[in-house]
């Protein structure tokens, strides 16, 4: 089995699968709450909206895609595991 890939896209796809699985596992074990995931989603969306002033460099397209992916993951986790929403 080789862990080296030829494509940066393959690496990104694998990373997304690993991170999605990790977030789900942490939620399943109650290490992350629904409110934590909602807060993370909000932070990623803020970075995507204000990528030009973000102190951590990121690309506009990738930040927007990350926000979309995390938003759909947050919705899935909310339906699957429930929990209390974040207080505003």
Higher pLDDT, 2 or 62: 62
Instruction: Give pLDDT, residue 36.
Output: 92
pLDDT at 21: 94
- Whether 74 shows a pLDDT value over 80: the answer reads yes
pLDDT of residue 6: 59
pLDDT of residue 11: 81
Low-confidence winner among 3-12, 46-55, 59-68 (lowest mean pLDDT): 3-12
Whether 63 contacts 47, CB under 8 Å: yes
What is this structure's pTM? 0.72
Instruction: For residue 58, give Cα distances in angstroms to 30, 37, 53, 84.
Output: 30, 21, 10, 31
First to last CA, the chain: 48
């Amino acid at each position: 089995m080789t862990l080296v890939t030829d494509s940066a896209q393959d690496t990104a796809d694998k990373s997304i699968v690993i991170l999605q699985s990790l977030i789900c596992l942490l939620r399943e074990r109650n290490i992350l709450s629904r409110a934590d995931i909602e807060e993370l989603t909000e932070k990623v969306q803020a970075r995507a909206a204000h990528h030009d002033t973000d102190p951590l460099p990121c690309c506009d397209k990738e930040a927007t895609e990350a926000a979309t992916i995390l938003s759909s993951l947050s919705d899935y986790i909310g339906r699957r595991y429930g929990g209390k929403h974040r207080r505003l």
